[in-house]
Homo-oligomer: A and B are copies of this chain.
Amino acid sequence: MNTLKNDRYLRALLCQPVDITPVWMMRQAGRYLPEYKATRAKAGDFMSLCKNAELACEVTLQPLRRYALDAAILFSDILTIPDAMGLGLHFEINDGPRFSSTINSLSDVKKLALFDPEVELYYVMDTVRAIRRELKGTVPLIGFAGSPWTLATYMVEGGSSKVFSKIKKMMYVEPATLHLLLDKLADSVILYLNAQIKAGAQSVMVFDTWGGVLTSRDYREFSLYYMHKIVDGLVRENDARQVPVTLFTKGGGQWLEAMVSTGCDALGLDWVTDISDARRRVGDKVALQGNMDPSMLYATPERISQEVEAILAGFGYGEGHVCNLGHGIHQDVPPANAGVFVEVVHTQSAKYHYQGLDVIYNLALSAK
């Protein structure tokens, strides 16, 4: 068992006491960093970078060298699962992800086979192991997967979509076909996340990027149900510690109460949801992660600092907050502004946490 030097992130997700609010940024390894661009250029295209464990580990660690982040997140893509199922993922320049094959019918779904994460997705597991080795117990590593609904949108639409007409048609006209697809995806995500945990991920997050395009009824039936199945199927222990599970539905701010019923440990909030409202609604049951508008990183340090204070004050005094952006960091923000964000979360959040016990606890630890 590795001793984790900084476990604020894991503690906050379990609503345990911390000295200051932990912080990380969704897509913290990415195109806004010049060193990322250099490594990606070395790898070739995006998928070659994902499939190269050494370079994927390198880009995972890059933001941690710049900023005092409280967690690392595996560098990968949510679409590795449909790729492993044989759909042929590739990225077209400026046009996002595309699949060579798409899912159009029940027979397409029936043909999809489950995979062995250590075989078809060995490169992800190798990356997880490499990151854990390189992190040397400084901060925990987050693993992740896309939600079944979100993965299905790409598999049925063949790529990104605005209107989601194909998958919604399937949802209305052939709901049993879609349910079979979602069930296979839920099983795949369980296999995949459990393999990440076994390889070393100390916390996992499920990204439901497109749950927010559904009605409240359809969200429960076609997205939340399968996230519930995932939460239920995860082996939630690593290094003799609980592996906290975070669910994030972009645009799902109205459904927080329903999301909590999955038994997850934390909810990710997009920036549209007011974090004080969210805490009032579900803060006694789960931790909350978020939720600064990623566009705020276009602003001045003073304005960023003001916004961080509004979010910290919005959550208020006490435990169960992991600070983050409300969505992935934009590729054209100045890296220095990301640094301001991370720094002010740390410097401004001490007043929202009781210091007495932690100070004593830390003194005791350092005396060991």
Chain A residues within CB distance 8 Å of chain B: 163-165, 168-169, 172-173, 212-218, 251, 253-254, 271-274, 277, 293, 295-296, 298-300, 303, 310, 330, 332
Contacts and interface: CB of A to CB of B under 8 A. Distances in A.
Given A165-B330, A254-B254, A216 B272 contact: yes
B299 A172 contact: yes
A169 B277 contact: no
A273 B216 contact: yes
A212 B272 contact: yes
Contacts of A213: 272
Contact of A173 (B212, B217, B253, B300): B300
Nearest to A168: B295
A346 B172 CA distance: 22
Nearest to A310: B217
A172 B169 CA distance: 40
Main secondary structure of the interface of A (DSSP, over half): helix
A303 B171 CA distance: 11
A267 to B, nearest CB: 14
Contact of A172 (B164, B172, B254, B303): B303
A216 B311 CA distance: 11
A303 B169 CA distance: 11
B298 A169 contact: yes
Given A173-B299, A253-B253, A254-B254, 19 more contacts: A163-B330, A165-B295, A165-B298, A165-B332, A168-B295, A172-B295, A172-B296, A172-B298, A172-B303, A173-B300, A213-B272, A215-B274, A216-B274, A217-B310, A251-B251, A253-B254, A254-B272, A254-B273, A254-B274
A163 B272 contact: no
A219 to B, nearest CB: 8
A177 to B, nearest CB: 14
A172 B300 contact: yes
Contacts of A164: 295
Nearest to A212: B272
A164 B272 CA distance: 14
Nearest to A278: B254
Q: Give 6 nearest A-B pairs by CB, closest first.
A: A172-B299, A168-B295, A216-B274, A169-B298, A172-B303, A215-B271
9 contacts: A168-B298, A169-B299, A172-B298, A173-B299, A173-B300, A215-B274, A216-B273, A216-B277, A254-B272
Contacts of A251: 251, 272
Contact of A254 (B168, B277, B332): B277
Nearest to A170: B298
A313 to B, nearest CB: 11
A310 B272 CA distance: 27
